[in-house]
């Protein structure tokens, strides 16, 4: 039944592959737990869910992680109800655990400038700097950036189209620094792609094998950057997204504008430009982002 649910998440719910894998892992672990109780999926009861929560707690998992597990199970159990495999929904008797509010980590502008100020010695150093400047310039998730193809980028107008959660496309803006680096990177990238692989040929950011770079690959590169600059903070690719939002908020951008620039899953591309016009978004971005001093005024809709 899990296989059918995974297909449902993909084809009906339009969840990202990352979310689907996470849900699948959480549900598989619960199914293994059920087997220790000599039970099958059709036998799920409230006591099983409470017992599973207790097991996760004994493993000293955080309240947030346990809640994520239960969210995955609620969705799965709801699907089982629709398929008439369960007569009642035992998850109705389970409450989410209280979690302390965690502030997202971010870098101060001086720390960000330090990371991005180093000169590069070769093409791979150029690629690394381009990736991190792009993440900071656009506020993209790392998964959105690594999934980009060269055709998704419009350097002339300082824009790119990324696919966010729920496979919803949105436009992001590319500031002056990122645009300059991308231009040089793209002019040299063709000499390092894997010529016989169509996927490699269209990937925007590539690895040393000439193939599309992975999220894990970017995290590994970032670790070396942070060690080199001796920044005593936990920094991940997502830190660039938080820093993007923090810095433009600090420089006067409205929080609603920031929501739209980040492309929260509740907003579609059409809704974005209904609420705030593209011209206004670009103007606010230009005025508020530390590395975006200039965006061409004569723009066109990408795609």
Among 39, 242, 273, 275, the active-site one is 273
CA-based nearest residue to 261, from 285, 237, 290, 292: 285
Among 68, 242, 264, 275, the active-site one is 264
Whether 40 contacts 34, CB under 8 Å: yes
Among 74, 165, 202, 299, the active-site one is 165
**238 is a catalytic site residue:** yes
**Cα(first)–Cα(last) distance of the chain, in Å?**
39
Q: How far is CA 197 from the centre of its chain?
A: 26
Give the three-class secondary structure for 244. helix
**264 is a catalytic site residue:** yes
Give the three-class secondary structure for 215. helix
**291 is a catalytic site residue:** no
**194 is a catalytic site residue:** no
Among 127, 129, 141, 282, the active-site one is 141
Going by the DSSP 8-state scheme, the letter that residue 174 receives in this structure is -
Return all residues near 64 (Cβ < 8 A) that are at least 6 apart.
99, 102
E-state strands within 143-298: 153-154, 159-163, 169-173
Residue 170 β-bridge partners: 162
Among 13, 39, 238, 242, the active-site one is 238
Return all residues near 18 (Cβ < 8 A) that are at least 6 apart.
143
Q: How far is CA 78 from the centre of its chain?
A: 26
Dist CA 37 CA 21 (whole Å)? 25
Largest pairwise CA distance in the chain: 66
- The catalytic residue positions are 141, 165, 238, 241, 264, 273
């Amino acid at each position: 039944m899990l296989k059918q649910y995974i297909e449902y998440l993909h084809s009906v719910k339009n969840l990202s592959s990352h979310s689907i894998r996470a849900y699948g892992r959480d549900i598989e672990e619960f199914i293994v737990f059920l087997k220790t109780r000599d039970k099958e999926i059709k036998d799920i009861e409230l006591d099983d869910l409470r017992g599973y929560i207790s097991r996760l707690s004994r493993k000293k998992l955080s309240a947030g992680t346990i809640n994520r597990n239960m969210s995955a199970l609620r969705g799965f159990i709801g699907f089982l109800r629709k398929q008439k495999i369960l007569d009642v929904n035992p998850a109705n008797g389970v409450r989410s655990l209280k979690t302390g509010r965690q502030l997202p980590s971010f870098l101060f502008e001086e720390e960000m400038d330090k990371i991005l100020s180093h000169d590069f010695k070769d093409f791979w150093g150029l690629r690394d700097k381009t990736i991190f400047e792009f993440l900071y310039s656009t506020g993209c998730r790392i998964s959105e950036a690594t999934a980009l193809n060269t055709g998704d980028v419009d350097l002339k107008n300082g824009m790119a189209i990324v696919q966010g959660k729920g496979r919803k496309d949105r436009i992001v803006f590319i500031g002056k620094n990122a645009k300059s680096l991308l231009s040089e990177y793209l002019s040299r990238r063709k000499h390092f792609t894997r010529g016989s692989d169509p996927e490699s040929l269209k990937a925007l950011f590539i690895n040393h094998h000439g193939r599309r770079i992975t999220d894990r690959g970017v995290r590994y590169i970032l670790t070396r950057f942070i060690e080199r600059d001796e920044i005593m903070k936990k920094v991940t690719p997502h830190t660039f997204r938080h820093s993007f939002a923090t810095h433009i908020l600090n420089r006067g951008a409205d929080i609603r504008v920031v929501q739209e620039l980040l492309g929260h899953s509740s907003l579609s591309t059409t809704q974005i430009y209904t609420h705030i016009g593209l011209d206004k978004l670009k103007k606010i971005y230009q005025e508020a982002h530390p590395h975006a001093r200039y965006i061409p005024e004569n723009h066109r809709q990408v795609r």
